[in-house]
Amino acid sequence: MNRQVIQTDGAPAAIGPYSQAVRCGDLVFCSGQIALDPATGELVGAGDVAAQTERVMDNLAAVLAAAGSSFARVVKATIFLTDLGDFGTVNAVYGARFEGLEPPARACVEVSRLPKDVQVEIEVIATV
């Protein structure tokens, strides 16, 4: 099966030994995105989980587009939160990107810490 690394300037460059996404056959596996501005590499929305989630979803949209996919084709999402009390806010921002679409399967977990001390990270798997 063909394996293709996906890279776009529309999302932050990887900050470790991983790819923004990998396409394998008709699936694209997007690495977790955090709220980094792709142009500057700086954190967006420090202390504001809604602003962070918007940036995360923008980053994911760019990676999905680079892979030839979109939110309409996402089949599974995983959300990582440092405070499950932020679930409602994150869910509202996340849900807006799937408005009018059939939503994917999803998991949401609370973790003790995320890279760069962000409040939210989201990864997705989509079809192409």
List the catalytic residue out of 61, 72, 108, 128. 108
| Catalytic residue list contains 108 | yes
* Positive or negative: CA dihedral 71, 62, 25, 30: negative
Longest Cα–Cα distance of the chain, Å, equals 42
Which residues are known to be catalytic? 108
